[in-house]
Amino acid sequence: MKTGKWIVFAATLLLIFTCAAFVRAQDEEVDVEGSKDHPLLSRMKNFFITDYLARYDEHEFYISDEETKVVEGDRTFIVYRLKEGSPQVSPLQIRRNYGNALKTLGATLIRESDAYACWKLVKGDQEIWIDLSIHNDGWNYELNFIQIAAMIQEVTANEMLDALNKDGFIALYINFDTGKYDLKPEMRGTIDQIVSLLKDNEDLQISIEGHTDNVGPAEANKVLSEQRAKSVMAAVVAGGVDASRINAVGWGQERPIADNRSEEGRAKNRRVEIVKK
């Protein structure tokens, strides 16, 4: 092949490879499968979604330099990245965009710094926490939304009895605030079912056993799990069950049933078990 034809051939190959690389890059700059903007807030222009999560979860919001607040509920987590070749936006521009939008919605600004902002929005009987974290001088940013809602586990007395007879125990996800052991009002239904279980089965004796994840000191977790078990026991006794039929135990983080390295696993480990004696 003559030199001139080689040059044309090589140039053609280079153009093909360049175009293919460009197409791949363009294909990568689309929203990750299954993702979408949160209904409250749309994205900045020329950004696409690289990571997305929507599930019952918890998130830590930064209230001040010294204080954080862990909020639990229906969480949406979205990471955005600026498309290649698009005009860069500043962190201030991103903050102002979302700050103005949330102000219009009636949200209260909790904290704001160069690359972070946190808001609380109350709409009717809903409380929604939102935070914004900006990275790489505005090339990436992430949004977290937590709509506060208790993960209600609806288990009937008959279902509890079936599990106790089959497995000897049942795990209940009774919600407590982080580091607290006071029962929440929305747990009343679960407590009523435990009371019904014991009243309908007068020979049944149970152990109420608290468990935690591995976040925090092990000894403190053990104490907390026992306090939570005792709170459940006290509520059941207050429902008219003889205290001699129940005892309360706290195991802390000693008996995990899931991997504590993921939030999903930690959520499964934070439980109260009813164990047949």
Could you report the per-residue pLDDT of 205-259, keeping only the tens digit for each? Answer: 999 999 999 989 999 999 999 999 999 999 999 999 999 999 999 999 999 999 9
pLDDT tens digits, one per residue of 137-179: 999 999 999 998 655 667 899 999 999 999 999 999 887 877 8
Residue % of the chain over a pLDDT of 90 = 72
2 vs 71, higher pLDDT: 71
Residue 225 CB neighbour total at 10 angstroms: 26
How far out from the chain centre does Cα 231 lie?
25
Instruction: Determine the pLDDT at residue 26.
Output: 42
Q: How confident is the model at residue 16 (pLDDT cuts 50, 70, 90)?
A: low
Instruction: Determine the pLDDT at residue 149.
Output: 65
CA-nearest of 94, 93, 77 to 36 is: 77
CA-nearest of 8, 118, 137 to 67 is: 118
CATH number for the domain running over 157-276: 3.30.1330.60
Residue 138 φ/ψ region, left for φ over 0, alpha for ψ in the -120 to 50 degree band, beta for the rest = left
- The span from the CA of 177 to the CA of 158, in Å, is 28
Distances (CA, A) of 105 to 39, 98, 144: 12, 11, 17
CA-nearest of 98, 106, 167, 102 to 138 is: 98
Q: How confident is the model at residue 21 (pLDDT cuts 50, 70, 90)?
A: very low
Instruction: Determine the pLDDT at residue 151.
Output: 55
- pLDDT at 94 exceeding the cut of 70: yes
Q: How confident is the model at residue 124 (pLDDT cuts 50, 70, 90)?
A: low
3 state DSSP class of 230: helix
The residues of the chain that CATH labels 3.30.1330.60 are: 157-276
